[in-house]
Amino acid sequence: MATTKESRSATAGAGIAASLRRRIAGTVIAPPDTAYAEARQVWNGVVDRYPAAIVRPAGAHDVAATVLFSREHGLPLAVRGGGHNAAGFGTCDGGLVVDLGSLNGVDVDPRAGTATAGGGSTWSAVDQATQAHGLAVTGGMVSHTGIGGLTLGGGIGNLMRRCGLTCDNLAGVELVTAGGSTIDVNDEDHADLLWALRGGGGNFGVVTRFTYRLHAIGPTVLAGMLVHPIADGAEVLRFYRDWADSLPDEMTTVVALRTAPPSPHLPAEIHGRPIVAIAVCWSGALDEGDAVLEPLRRFRRPAADLITRKPYVDHQKMFDPSAPFGRGNYKRHANLGALSDDVIEVLVDHTARVTSPHSVTLIFQLGGQVARIHEDATAYSDRGARFNVDVNAQWLEPRDPNAERHVRWAQDLHAELKPFASRQAYVNFLTDEGPERLRLAYGEAKYGRLAALKQTYDPDNVLRINQNIAPAG
């Protein structure tokens, strides 16, 4: 039996779709199209929304036509790249969704050291295209993540300590404004807007094309993970903290605290048991990487040592099995200045009491080039943070009756981390936490600058289904 939301979308969608099809060259999907059920889905399985129509544009002209149509008819407008946003900002009830997945071409200019990618491209596509030339840009650690949301919110990844965040490597964009104009944004044209797009999210327009500066990387890196049982977790994390403190920029690490999956690469005796896994990516000279890793490998014999020489594109897919489409997800996040003994105790204790075998807490090591860029150079904030903690409660079935229990586990862990955390935050890991949390995430001065730019480029707040920055005044 159809839900009320589904029925309303079906009623409104037919007329809206017919009108849109007369205006655009791309595809419009609406009830009762057979493709609608799948097209409305996003990564987080608990997000269950029914847009009136989903537009898959053929180019920037279609995006502009859709933006203008939403304004004329007073319809909410959501923009979807890869659909990975945990809060479900890539969809809406009763409005329009611009699904940029149809704009997914990637062109590499090896002489200029740049790549230009459609706004709906995934990191898998960008990595494959750039690595064909021995080049790369910092990208997401799950290969089916869309480039748009990650870039516009900052962009942490396996190359960030060496190459900077994704947004630090953003050279320019093609952007459709909230008024329906298409403009090129770069360091010479609309430089103020480029500053905002480097961390300010999707508030200022719909990006239909990204251009990145590339770096010589790979194609082989020294990467993988060391796995220890949680019983050794406190000792392992204290050693890791001290070892990581003096790492060269070529090394980026991520700690994963979770339940060991039934993987053939892990010994059977730890399957289903809490673990601490230290994932590493060394992108420099391989022999030098062996020497840098040696103390970590020697410190204590791990339950599994999965670090090896492998293609960078393969390592970029390592976390894919842990983040499939359709599971239930709930996130909380904290930036930390240090991994103190008290923080380590909290993390190990909550990992030992995790309620779902699919939940994971990730500790991203920052620093390096991320910290060297001046705080005011981009909208991305809190470059002085040393670690970024991403608490992910995850469950297999979106309607799991234990979902609330898993959510409480994440909330309790976050609450215990809060006294040690910065007031600022990484906006890509925030959920729908309200305007005051977002203001704190950027800091008062930077938020004020962003709000003024929002007033310039989107004074009517058309693009508001996001980490929304209200127009100044």
Cα(52)–Cα(97) distance, integer angstroms: 8
CA distances 99 to 44, 93, 95, Å, are: 16, 15, 13
User: What's the Cα-to-Cα distance from 385 to each of 162, 167, 247, 365, 375, rounded to whole Å?
Assistant: 16, 17, 16, 9, 11
- Residue 10 confidence (pLDDT): 62
State yes or no: cis peptide before 76, omega within 30 of 0. no
Taking the alpha carbons of 136, 140, 141, 146 in that order, is the dihedral positive or negative?
A: negative
Determine how many CB atoms are found less than 10 A away from the CB of residue 445: 10
Sequence letter at residue 324: P
Residues 42 and 88: beta-carbon distance below 8 Å: yes
Which tokens sit at 39? 């097209």
Question: What DSSP assignment string belongs to 35-78?
Answer: THHHHT--SSTT-----SEEEE-SSHHHHHHHHHHHHHHT--EE
In whole angstroms, give the CA distance from residue 71 to residue 77. Answer: 9
The angle subtended at Cα 84 by Cα 78 and Cα 90, nearest 5°, is: 10
CA distance 28 to 20: 7
Q: Give the length of the chain.
A: 473
Inter-CA distances, 178 with 132, 182, 195, 450, Å: 36, 10, 18, 16
The pLDDT score that the predictor gives to residue 15 is: 87
Work out whether the CA dihedral 319, 320, 321, 324 comes out positive or negative: positive
Residue 1 confidence (pLDDT) = 46
Residue 4: the pLDDT is 65
Per-residue confidence (pLDDT) for residue 284, from 0 to 100: 97
Give the CB-side neighbour count of residue 165, counting CA atoms within 13 A.
Answer: 31
Asked whether 394 and 387 are in contact (CB, 8 A), the reply is: no
Tell which phi-psi region holds residue 377, choosing left (phi > 0), alpha (psi between -120 and 50) or beta: alpha
Q: Decide if 451 contacts 472 (C-beta within 8 A).
A: yes
CB atoms within 10 A of CB 306: 17
Q: How far is CA 340 from CA 211, 237, 242, 347, 419, in A?
A: 39, 10, 11, 11, 12
Please identify every stretch of the chain with a pLDDT value under 50, giving residue numbers as ranges: 1
Give the torsion sign (CA, 115, 117, 123, 129). negative
Distance CA 344, CA 413 (A): 12
Residue type, 337: G
CB-count exposure of residue 130 (10 Å: 0-12, 13-18, 19+): buried
3-state SS string over 98-124? EEHHHCCCEEEECCCCEEEEECCCEHH
* Distance of alpha carbon 25 from alpha carbon 63, whole angstroms: 10
Domains and CATH numbers, the chain: 4-102 (3.30.43.10), 106-217 (3.30.465.10), 220-429 (3.40.462.20)
- How far CA 464 is from CA of 93, 148, 178, 204, 459, in Å, comes to 14, 16, 10, 10, 11
